[in-house]
Amino acid sequence: MSSSQTKQGDAFPRYVSVLRPDLFAGEVHWVTGGGSGIGRCVAHELAALGATVIASGRTEEKLRRVAVEIAEDGGHAEAIALDIRDEDAVRATVTEVVARHGRIHGLVNNAGGQFPSPLAAITRKGFETVVATNLTGGFLMMREIYLQSMQAHGGAIVNMTADMWNGMPGMGHSGAARAGMANLTKTAAVEWAASGVRVNAVAPGWIASSGMDSYKGPVREMIPKLKRHVPLRRLGTESEVSATICFLLSPGAAFITGTTLAIDGGAPLDTPLFPIPDHQRSVPFNGFHRGVMPEVLKES
């Protein structure tokens, strides 16, 4: 749904979450890549559930816009420009946030990015840039927040991976980084358990998010056809990813750690050996009152 469709006068309705409204009241949760797409949605849901949200990313203008949206909805958010690949900047920024708020209760390692390319055409610089964004930067955030807050106070971390179980032809650099993040999640879950820290990951499949509009050419042409390869015969919503992330951060997931939860409509299971007819029996959940459909899907 678009914000213009849900606007009532000058006020927006609040995020409609499946979780209780005060779930994260009094807590501080950090969302990297919080200026757009899934990260923006997660920031909104966490704020609607009572959290003070730290939204970070490389583009300050987008982050400030999200912070203003959350304030208009009655929530609290701070916008912080940060390149998670910069170790010194990560360390210093975490120090500032902990000094200001006392502790960090949750981290959503959402920031990432990649570009489509066959392996033979990826340069070393391109490969290392994607790995730095999707794996190394996430590690730096995890480590610093653990050392400066969670080691003493506990907490929960949710990392972002992807549907990379069968490889990622056309995006091998991203697949390698995402697989690394899934393994890193398991290691941190064990090493940090004694500190009261849970570490999990989510692996979204094809999600109708603004990131789809960044692709051009043949990849863009393919996007509207992706639902044909999903048993549920649709793409996922940002809200469905956010709901899973917020659950993993919540006390309801207190006995869940070291796992990667797929949010993909069963796409890896799709097989020509058992063709599924087109259907509309899967009803999407969309609680994000400010969500906007990607332009590429409007074109289909």
**Could you read off the pLDDT of 146-185 as tens digits, one per residue?**
999 999 999 999 999 999 999 999 999 999 999 999 999 9
Percent of the chain with pLDDT over 70: 96
Residue 28, SS3?
A: strand
Confidence category of residue 300, pLDDT binned at 50, 70, 90: low
**Residue 79: strand pairing partners:** 55
Token digits of residue 218: 């043949």
Q: What CATH number did the domain enclosing 35 receive?
A: 3.40.50.720
- H helices of the chain, where? 3-6, 37-48, 60-72, 87-101, 124-131, 137-145, 151-153, 172-191, 217-222, 238-249, 295-298
C-alpha distance from residue 124 to each of 33, 118, 129, 137, 173 (Å):
24, 13, 8, 18, 10
- Reduced DSSP (H G I as helix, E B as strand, rest coil) percent helix, strand, coil of the chain, to 5: 45, 15, 35
Q: Which domain holds residue 193?
A: 21-263+283-298
The pLDDT, as a whole number, for residue 6 is: 41
Long-range CB contacts (within 8 A, 24+) of 293-297? 293/1, 293/2, 293/208, 294/208, 294/209, 294/210, 294/211, 294/212, 294/213, 294/223, 295/213, 296/212, 296/213, 296/215, 296/220, 296/223, 296/224, 297/208, 297/212, 297/223, 297/224, 297/235
Question: Do residues 39 and 79 make contact, with C-beta atoms less than 8 angstroms apart?
Answer: no
What mean pLDDT is predicted for residues 62-90?
Answer: 97
- Residue 226, domain member (yes or no): yes
Domain membership of residue 10 (yes or no) is no
Q: Is residue 271 part of a domain?
A: no
Residue 268, in any domain of the structure: no
pLDDT of 222 > 70? The answer is yes
Q: Evaluate whether residue 203 is within a structural domain.
A: yes
User: Does the residue 26 lie in any domain?
Assistant: yes
**Would you state the pLDDT for residue 217?**
85
Question: Looking at the predicted structure, is the pLDDT value of residue 5 above 50?
Answer: no
Average pLDDT, the chain: 93
Domain tally for the chain? 1
Residue 211 pLDDT level (bands cut at 50, 70, 90): confident
pLDDT digits (tens, 9 = 90+) for 244-296: 999 999 999 999 999 999 999 999 999 999 999 999 999 999 999 999 899 88
- What SS3 class is residue 151? helix
pLDDT of 9 reads 37
Answer yes or no: is 93 within a domain.
yes
The CA distance from 205 to 117, in Å, is: 18
Q: Kindly write down the DSSP assignment for every residue of 194-252, as one continuous string.
A: GGTEEEEEEEE-SEE-GGGGG--HHHHHHGGGGGGGSTTSS-EEHHHHHHHHHHHHSGG
pLDDT in tens, 7-57: 433 456 889 999 999 999 999 999 999 999 999 999 999 999 999 999 999
121 assigned to some structural domain: yes
Residue 228 falls in which region: left (phi positive, over 0), alpha (psi -120 to 50) or beta: alpha
